A and B are shown apart, each in its own frame.
Chain A
């Protein structure tokens, strides 16, 4: 997938409630080239309206009071949302092929 991002010059951003230290640990294991933001206070999550208001929002093991709903957004050069995948079920993984198809449909046609 990284080649697909690089080829199009896409800036990849991840947002999670992990602390910078936890992100750094994970990066070491996964080697992601993305900019990985720490949103422990849920400010970014709330700015996008993506706070999970469901019952099991944050299991007891989480330190955050709530969690974001997993979501993937494609944004154009002027900051407009072109496409969004909002997982209805937090226990499902999002599919890389879905993201690639979305980039082909929305980025490649610009």
Chain B
């Protein structure tokens, strides 16, 4: 405990180790990339290709590892650990948060739509036979109104 207190002034005095600088850069990269990703997600405007996000995250994680190679102080080890965790965890989430349909089950152009019935927002019954003879647009939503 007491040695910690006497160490602190030394910590403030010493110049930052190379590894610590790299670690901080890695952490900032990871945070900025993550922030941008979640901003785009909230605007429902994520790009089709996520390659650059994955590249940025993996770069942050790699820099984090490199920071340790270049040696950090014990406090300076925290940012690169953060960079490695974010840089490895988020690309995994991005890679699996895609969607897919079963190719042999999904309806295709040229198919006739199936019959279906359901209840609408006013609790009225609806049957697809009422669509006969009409031009129809059907929209399937994922999100709530």
Nearest to B144 among chain A residues (CB) is A18
Within 8 A of B (CB), among A1-21: 5, 8-16, 18, 20
Q: Which residues of A contact B (CB under 8 A)?
A: 5, 8-16, 18, 20, 22-27, 29-30, 34-39, 43-45, 47-57, 67-84, 86-94, 99, 103, 107, 110
Nearest to B118 among chain A residues (CB) is A37
User: In the complex, which residues of chain B have a beta carbon less than 8 angstroms from the beta carbon of A36?
Assistant: 120-121
A69 near B101: Cβ-Cβ < 8 Å: yes
A77 near B132: Cβ-Cβ < 8 Å: yes
In the complex, A69 Cα to B98 Cα: how many Å? 10
Q: Which residues of B contact A (CB under 8 A)?
A: 41, 44-46, 48, 96-102, 105-116, 118-123, 126, 131-145
In the complex, A27 Cα to B110 Cα: how many Å? 32
19 A–B contact pairs at CB < 8 A? A12-B137, A12-B139, A13-B136, A16-B141, A18-B144, A20-B122, A38-B120, A48-B140, A54-B97, A69-B99, A69-B100, A74-B137, A80-B111, A81-B107, A81-B108, A81-B112, A84-B108, A88-B48, A92-B45
6 additional contacts (CB under 8 A) given A23-B120, A94-B139: A11-B137, A14-B138, A16-B142, A71-B139, A75-B136, A75-B138
A79 near B131: Cβ-Cβ < 8 Å: yes
Number of cross-chain contacts by CB at 8 Å: 204
Contact residue among A16, A86, A107 (Cβ-Cβ distance under 8 Å from B144): A16
User: In the complex, which residues of chain A have a beta carbon less than 8 angstroms from the beta carbon of B118?
Assistant: 15, 37-39, 43-44
B109 near A50: Cβ-Cβ < 8 Å: no
A56 near B97: Cβ-Cβ < 8 Å: yes
In the complex, A82 Cα to B59 Cα: how many Å? 45
What 7 pairs between A and B have smallest CB-CB spacing? A26-B145, A23-B121, A49-B105, A49-B106, A54-B99, A75-B136, A16-B141
A91 near B141: Cβ-Cβ < 8 Å: no
In the complex, A104 Cα to B13 Cα: how many Å? 71
